A and B are shown apart, each in its own frame.
Chain A
Amino acid sequence: MAVEWYLVLSALLFATGVGGVLIRRSPLVILLCLELMLNAGNLALLAFSRSTGNEDGQVFALVVMVVAACEVVVGLGLIVAMYRRRLALNVDDMRQLRG
């Protein structure tokens, strides 16, 4: 398979993630859509790593996974804190920085 197939698939997955972030209003689903976008980036990194025959892209993809894990942990912590304070889990209601 040529590398451009992977790149177009990666663009498609990234656009899907962007659409999800714009449409959905539950913070949990928005975090899931962020995961979609990060994974699309990972796919592009690995495709370029394959096309250049260089493993640096794979190391970069692993670092992206670490960053994604950190983002998940902090985001889910925020969601749990919102739920504990009995705030509605709707990003449109979160308009002020002060809870």
Chain B
Amino acid sequence: MVEVAFFAGAIGALGGAISVIALRNPFYSVLALVVHLVSLAGLFLILYAQFVAAVQIVVYAGAVMVLYVFVAAYVGGAEEPLWEPIPGQRFVAPLLAVALFIELSIAVLGTGLQAIDSEGPALDAGFGSPAQIGELFLERFLIAFEAASVLLLIAAVGAVVLAGRRRESPDGG
């Protein structure tokens, strides 16, 4: 049962990821990324990360992707030019990606980590629940939590400064 769920999620995540880089229209790429994120949320559920899966659906596949859809609709689906600044980029880049995958797989599978080929220990029922994660965030990782809130504030201000209209330019920026 777990195997079926894993392979369904893995095929969805991988298909979504390949669609993101293969589709020519950026709007369809965004929609493919939504498929990828929802499949990954299923995998997170198998890994007993219920809260992270819920955040993935609500924040990522919901809010962040809506932002992407708005920007993709705003700038329009511009076709990419076929001209390549680096000769052979279209063929060398996939080779580099495959080489990276092989290298990462060797590093992961050849590692001396123990219990990497087992399912992991038996977990209690509350593992990964919002209560446990919230307790960790507010006690052990309080500084990281506060730093994250400051980072989000700075990013919001930065986006307004970057994308806002400039008053000094006569043509509306």
Contact = CB atoms under 8 A, between A and B. Distances in A.
A28 B152 contact: no
B68 A77 contact: no
A70 B151 contact: yes
Contacts of A24: 21, 80
A81 B163 contact: yes
Nearest to B173: A84
B35 interface: no
A73 B156 contact: yes
A74 B98 CA distance: 30
Given A3-B120, A23-B94, A74-B159, A35 B33 contact: yes
Contacts, number: 229
A19 B74 contact: no
Interface in B137-173: 137, 141, 144, 148, 151-152, 154-156, 158-163, 165, 172-173
Q: Is the interface of A mostly helix, strand, loop or mixed?
A: helix
A50 B116 CA distance: 11
Interface bracket on B:
35 or more
Contacts of B78: 26, 88-89
B3 A22 contact: no
Interface of B: 2-3, 6, 10, 13-14, 17-18, 20-21, 26, 29-30, 33, 36-37, 40, 43-44, 46-49, 51-52, 55-56, 59-60, 64, 67-68, 71-72, 74-75, 78, 80-81, 85, 89-90, 93-94, 96-98, 100-101, 104-105, 108-109, 115-121, 123, 127-128, 132-133, 136-137, 141, 144, 148, 151-152, 154-156, 158-163, 165, 172-173
Interface of A: 1-9, 11-20, 22-26, 28-29, 31-33, 35-36, 39, 42-43, 46-47, 49-53, 55-56, 58-59, 61-63, 65-74, 76-81, 83-85, 88-90, 92
